[in-house]
Structure 1
Amino acid sequence: MHIQLVLALLSIATFGVASAQEGQPCLSSCGNVTITFPFGSGEGCYHSPDFLVTCNQSSGEPVPYFGESTIVISNMSTSKSEVEVLAVVARDCYNSSGRVRRNGSSLGLRDFRISAKNKFVAIGCDTQAYFSGRRGINRSFYGTGCISRCGRDSLITNGSCSGVGCCDVAVPQEMRSFEIELSSYNNHVNITEFNPCSYGFFVEEGKFNFSTTNFRDFESIQKMPMLLDWAIGNSTCDIATEDMDSFLCKGNSECDPDYSGPGYRCRCHEGYEGNPYVANNCTNINECERGTHDCEHECVDTQGSYECYCPKGYSGDGHKQGTGCIEDQSYPIKIVVVDIFS
């Protein structure tokens, strides 16, 4: 059965940090996930419906879902503008009689993107894995994949996705959708005993390490962690700042000049930390107390920065990576005595 996860988030804009409706307080967390603005648990809690987090408590243990979909959120970050979700693993399984089970995996996003920090991974010894999708504002078509083949006596190396038992492919920038398809060259003939299935999935880089035990134990893995990128709206910084009432980067927060994708992102000014999407939430970092300064002697905290001072009798900029503190040189005073009676 082909499993298709489609996330069609509405783009109706509601601006600012509104209060929750009466009797519906905004949730600060759901399960182990902290919910931070622009995300929210309901109308009046989020920036726009794109950032809705549905906290389902029907099973007793609260589970955060992405919008109104069945996609589980496992983590989120406002400083990196990322959301970690659990994406379905595609599989293609066989026994001695042939194929016994097959499912694909697909995802469609409206205003979020599949992060290039992910990799597409395929596991199997008789595996052709392919994914296609749309990318960019124009949603141009894209498709690629990899092949992994091996036999019982092949030299399969743990930790290596070189094409022998495991292969991987980089994810392009600005992907908004994907569809995974798996196929076999020989129906896993002569390898079903140790490798009955092929698997394909997107996963955050560093969150998967191939092992030969995956040929068998990966059958119990239904989902893998994958990163999604996000930004506010579709307007760039220059255009978004024309409407300061709706613009979110305020106080000690600024529009991120390093971001070049659709929409805009906020970041705290250097020397500040907090949630840059909430007005006045970026607060001063005390580098002196944290020990993150490079002062050689005395550190004095300032708003957004710090200053270094040298002790009495020393001069310099006081920085370890600068001139430091150098002891002042004392010059001898030469006294000349003149004999006025000679």
Structure 2
Amino acid sequence: MCLLLLLFQLMMILLSSPINVLVESVLITAKPGCQTSCGNVTIPFPFGIGSNCYLDPWYAVNCSSDKPFLLRFDLEVLDIWIENGTMLVNHPVLTACNKSYDYRYKHLESVNMENSPFFFSPTKNVFSGLGCDAFAYVYYNESFIAGCYSSCQASGATATRETIGCYGIKCCQTRIPSSLQVFNASVGPLNEGKPSEAENEDCKQGFLVQELWLSRRTGNYGILSHATRVPAVLDWGIRDDSFNSTMIDPLSDCHVFANISIQDGRFVNDTVNISSSFEIPVNKCKCSRGWRGNPYLNPGCQGIGSGSFLLLLLIGAWRLHIIIKRRRDIKLKDKNFKRNGGLLLQQQLTSSDGNVDRSKLFNSKELDKATDHFNVNRILGQGGQGTVYKGMLADGKIIAVKKSKVIDERKIEEFINEVAILSQINHRNVVKLLGCCLETEVPLLVYEFIPNGSLFQYLHDQNEELSFTWEIRLQIATDVAGALSYLHSAASLPIYHRDIKSANILLDEKYRAKIADFGTSRSITIDQTHVTTKVQGTFGYLDPEYFQSSQFTDKSDVYSFGVVLVELLTGKKPISSSTTQDMSRSLTTNFLSMLDNNLFDILDAEVIKGKNEEIMIVANLAKRCLNLNGRKRPPMKEVAMVLEGIRASKRESNVQQNHQEVEYVRTEAIEPWDVASTSASSTFEITAPSLVIQPLLTM
């Protein structure tokens, strides 16, 4: 605070000073002891000439005959601009000429910059074609990317701007897509093998070129007819895996401007098996407003102002303030990262048998920006474990960010194990955990965003927009059962949810169910056979046997699912009394007491519209799930099979109905004496399958 007050006082003195003569400081561009230029081109860091002068081999420059070349791509460098992260290179021109007019397409595979921090600039370049009846295009992996056609003459009689500019008459141009790193081009006549309309037009060219450079040659494209190279602009930055915050000047601002797709693989029997793929961000940096220089050196940014002592003092004080603040923030993030188990998670990420994607780690800055600084208007919901915010990442992807409550530091290892395990769950009916952020005081968890809210809202809140039919309810029950069956039986290690309830069942845009909230802000325990999440659960859904044994099993999830089935059947909440001690008024108690004789008195009006046979099967299945003896409850695999069997029966029934309708229409054209026999055969040709699942419903 005192430092800020001192800075303000110095600023007031400086503004009142009569000395206002601006002087330019000598700007530092290259690393100390390194060559600063090659010919007329300045070579700023991260580029460099000679060992230890560049950041990594991507930026190595060879200076021969006073001409700098990027070693990796053998491209001549014409200029490098630190301010906007661009550079000008001499790029090859593709030419197709044949004086016998037997033109064929010529192809150029000039530059491949994949995995590098360099991209062909989509805003400062154009792809151009020259010549009469010339078709030039850019492609990648045999797929067309961009192209244009230049005709021989204008359709009108007079020359217009279009006839003298690069607008399709003997010269055409088009834009290239962003993030382009491989330039392959082809050029030739539109009608391959046929002569051009003009005898003098015997060459056709295609090239990527700086738009400004091309526009200055409007109407005088003849000078390009023998050109072999033209200037083109590359965007460049620093890959995240080469990015070192201590290397960057504290008085600079950095942002991600592109991503590189990287694929990891290993050789097996002389072929490459792709084991995973991930994206590496590429950052651009610039000195903060009022400063100039090289932000990739520390120090590299210098102030612009008077040569007075006060200005120098102000610059030094401000720089010291920024450095102290940056270091304090870095130390705090590092402390939080270690406290929240970051080192353990990194060990999981780098282990030889680890399957966790590197994209699972988010930084606090991008999540803060995604949620508009955790704006209260972005809150999706609040619970016992934390608050969930809606957010949007830089690439436009919508996410849900859970800001956890304070975590028990003694259980960090278990928490990280849970994050690692749940990150690997890939099931269409389980909300995907995209990753976490450990730099903040409490962990932040990032999930895929599910747009249509929870099952609880649709069952118990008024919603006139959607008729919650029996078919929709049956589909939701089948989805949830399938997901729980996967977690219990098909996952690499059995996973118990421990908090199955309608509020934790989310609905996507097609009203398909996804299980959410595995309690990942809590810890997990790993024993020899099972993985269970230690979440207390919700009254009304908890297994009564759990209270007696204090041991949570897979059959406890089955009980909770049974309560959800009853909710779907009745449309009522699990607890109808405001007093949680009043067990006699619980939904399950009322449901079980009315199941044998008065079931349809407690069912929801939309459910009654369904088929009685299906309703009875689901009601008896719910009864089995709610058995007070956990051993007598069916496993989730069996429950999922029963529900899927009902849906399969419905599909077969629909097929039979459609078949009979077709047969009916067809018999309209048959003679009367043939109708009876045809109808009879069609009636028994396809029959609905018998419900072989019925024996599973016995208690």
TM-score in terms of structure 1 length: 0.65
Aligned length: 256
SS of 2:83 mapped into structure 1: coil
Cα RMSD over matched residues?
3.3
Q: Which residue does the alignment assign to 2:58?
A: 50
1:210-266 per-position Cα deviation (integer Å, ceiling 9, x unaligned): 54542x432221111111111112359xxx5xx64xx43223223237x35422222
Deviates more, 1:270-279 or 1:201-210: 201-210
1:27 aligns with 2:27: no
From the superposition, tell whether residues 189 and 204 of structure 1 become closer, same or farther in structure 2 (CA, over 3 Å): closer
SS of 1:191 mapped into structure 2: coil
Q: Which residue does the alignment assign to 2:226?
A: 220
SS of 1:98 mapped into structure 2: coil
1:83 aligns with 2:87: yes
1:64 aligns with 2:71: no
Deviation at 1:197, TM superposition (A): 1.0
Q: Which residue does the alignment assign to 2:247?
A: 248
Paired residue for 1:125, among 132, 141, 161? 132
Q: Which residue does the alignment assign to 2:302?
A: 283
SS of 2:224 mapped into structure 1: helix
From the superposition, tell whether residues 42 and 158 of structure 1 become closer, same or farther in structure 2 (CA, over 3 Å): farther
**Contact 1:271/1:303 (<8 A) preserved:** no
For CA contacts below 8 A with separation 6 or more, give which structure has more relative contact order.
Answer: 1
1:36 aligns with 2:54: no
Deviates more, 1:40-49 or 1:92-101: 92-101
**Contact 1:125/1:188 (<8 A) preserved:** no
Deviation at 1:189, TM superposition (A): 2.8
- The percent identity for this pair of structures is 27
Q: Which residue does the alignment assign to 2:199?
A: 192
Q: Which residue does the alignment assign to 1:274?
A: 293
* Distance in 1, Cα, partners of 2:212 & 2:163: 15
SS of 1:208 mapped into structure 2: helix
1:22-61 per-position Cα deviation (integer Å, ceiling 9, x unaligned): xxx632111111111000012100011100111112xxxx
1:35-94 per-position Cα deviation (integer Å, ceiling 9, x unaligned): 11000012100011100111112xxxx111111443111010111111110111111113
* Distance in 2, Cα, partners of 1:97 & 1:170: 29
**Contact 1:235/1:263 (<8 A) preserved:** no
Deviates more, 1:169-178 or 1:248-257: 248-257
From the superposition, tell whether residues 90 and 260 of structure 1 become closer, same or farther in structure 2 (CA, over 3 Å): closer
1:124-144 per-position Cα deviation (integer Å, ceiling 9, x unaligned): 12111110137xxxxx96612
Counterpart amino acid of residue 278 in structure 1: L
* Distance in 1, Cα, partners of 2:136 & 2:196: 18
Q: Which residue does the alignment assign to 1:161?
A: 166
**Contact 1:151/1:191 (<8 A) preserved:** no
**Structure number with bigger Rg:** 2
Paired residue for 1:107, among 106, 111, 116? 111
* Distance in 2, Cα, partners of 1:177 & 1:115: 12
* Distance in 2, Cα, partners of 1:183 & 1:277: 44
* Distance in 1, Cα, partners of 2:294 & 2:249: 11
From the superposition, tell whether residues 188 and 73 of structure 1 become closer, same or farther in structure 2 (CA, over 3 Å): farther
Deviates more, 1:163-172 or 1:93-102: 93-102
* Distance in 2, Cα, partners of 1:271 & 1:253: 11
Q: Which residue does the alignment assign to 1:146?
A: 148
* Distance in 1, Cα, partners of 2:153 & 2:250: 61
* Distance in 2, Cα, partners of 1:276 & 1:165: 44
Structure 2, unpaired ranges of 5+: 1-29, 260-280, 317-699
Structure 1, unpaired ranges of 5+: 1-16, 20-24, 135-139, 290-299, 305-342
1:182 aligns with 2:187: yes
Deviation at 1:181, TM superposition (A): 0.3
1:173 aligns with 2:178: yes
